[in-house]
Amino acid sequence: MQKKKAGRYVKQTIQILIRVIIPAALFFCIPVFCMPVAGFGTQPLQQAPYREAVRIGTIADGSINEVSGLAASYRDKDLLWMINDSGHPPILYGISRSGVKRAVFKIEDAVNTDWEDIALFRYQGESYLLIADVGDNLAQRQSCTLYIIREPDRLGFQTDRPLPLKIVSRIRFNYENGPRDCEAVAVDIKNKQVLLLSKRESPPALYQLPLKMDEPRTRYTARQIAPLTTIPKPTLSDLKKKYGKYRSQPTSMDLSPDSTTLIILTYKHAYYFKRDRSRTWKETFKNPPREIRLPLPDSGELRQRETICINPHTGELIVTSEGRFAPIYSLQPKRL
């Protein structure tokens, strides 16, 4: 009889442990083990070496209403190059820093399936623009295309029809692990590579392609070189807002001419990565970036920030947004 009572007691004790005590212990202990690593996620990011964003202009032409790519000219310090998103013709616009349209060019034999970024670079003493037809919201495209053109050396603005521009090279490619959406592209001229940052996977990943300046028939494969885990995730405050869960997605990037400073734009802020020449991007991305604060979307300015570029003459950052008559902002570097 005593043995039966003892057995029931042991059985009841085990049931209490399983049903009550262990779950309670896990409830209180798991948050401790899941806390972010000290030094990242618990501390605000350091600020990047740029001054406060200042509005310098407004895109005056209503037809430039879905800006998805931006580059500052090598040839003219007052000139910015812009493209529109999908659904528009293959047009390259030249506008002043204040937003006045100065030139319009049509890229011959090109298709704007989903143009998402442009990058400026110098190669063998000449300046070029790379136009990235890489947008893929539903991750269905089996092939994407990069168009390379010479930066126009004459503007010759005409209001009746765009001037033609020939393609120097086109790079067709796919991703090694299947279709990816991408809105952020840069040229690493030091290593003769094109860098592509995916958008809708978590975490975003950096891919690379060889930069080809002829027009090969080969289709290339973009290979992943680094995950990007250090961009801050949306805050609880962000998540309460419409589309707030998307605020950490990268929409553009640019690389300095010396290939050491990478700027990544998101829907919320921009982020600054500095790479030592002896380190890879994978090693660089292990450390948190510095933050580049921008006017918050809730302020009504830069509501859908889509593109950023580095001025090759001064190191200044220039940012604009989608939408008609979008503002143009400048962030000057701090002099150390």
pLDDT tens-digit readout, 121-172 = 999 999 999 999 999 999 999 999 999 999 998 775 555 688 999 999 999 9
| CA 119/CA 307 separation, integer angstroms | 11
Pair of tokens at residue 165? 């521009």
Name the nearest CA neighbour of 58 among 308, 307, 324, 253.
Answer: 324
Question: Which structure tokens are listed for 106?
Answer: 């049509």
For residues 160 and 200, give the distance between their C-alpha atoms in angstroms, rounded to a whole number. 39
Position 23 scores a pLDDT of: 40
Residue pLDDT, tens place only, 196-219: 999 999 899 999 999 999 878 889
- Report the range of poorest mean pLDDT among 22-26, 248-252, 267-271: 22-26
More confidently predicted of 235 and 298 = 235
Please report the pLDDT score of residue 49 as a whole number.
96
**pLDDT at residue 31 above 60?**
no
- Give the whole-angstrom CA distance, residue 85 versus residue 320: 14
Contact 223, 157 (CB under 8 A): no
| Per-residue confidence (pLDDT) for residue 22, from 0 to 100 | 42
Q: Is it the case that residue 7 has pLDDT exceeding 60?
A: no
In whole angstroms, what is the distance from residue 212 CA to residue 172 CA? Answer: 10
**Contact in structure between 39 and 287 (CB atoms under 8 Å):** no
Residue 160 is predicted with a pLDDT of: 62
Mean pLDDT along residues 269-280: 93
Residues 303-326: tens digit of each pLDDT = 788 999 999 999 999 999 998 999
User: Can you give the pLDDT at residue 298?
Assistant: 66
Residue 8: what pLDDT? 52
Residue 16 has a pLDDT of: 45
Residue 41 or residue 51, greater confidence: 51
Q: Name the token pair of 45.
A: 């990011």
What number is the average pLDDT over the span 247-262? 95
For residue 174, how many C-alpha atoms fall within 13 Å in the half-sphere facing its CB?
Answer: 11
CA distance 178 to 159: 42
Q: Let me know: does 86 contact 135? Beta carbons within 8 Å.
A: yes
Confidence of residue 299 (pLDDT cuts 50, 70, 90): low
pLDDT at 87 over 80: yes
CA dihedral 189, 54, 65, 254 (to 10 degrees): 10
Return the closest-CA partner of residue 209 out of 179, 178, 182, 175: 175
Q: Which has the closest alpha carbon to 155: 118, 91, 202, 102?
A: 102
Residue 270 φ then ψ, to 5°? -115, 160
Confidence grade of residue 34 (pLDDT, cut at 50, 70, 90): very low
Q: Average model confidence (pLDDT) for the chain?
A: 86
Q: Which range among 162-176, 212-226, 236-250, 296-310 has the greatest average pLDDT?
A: 162-176
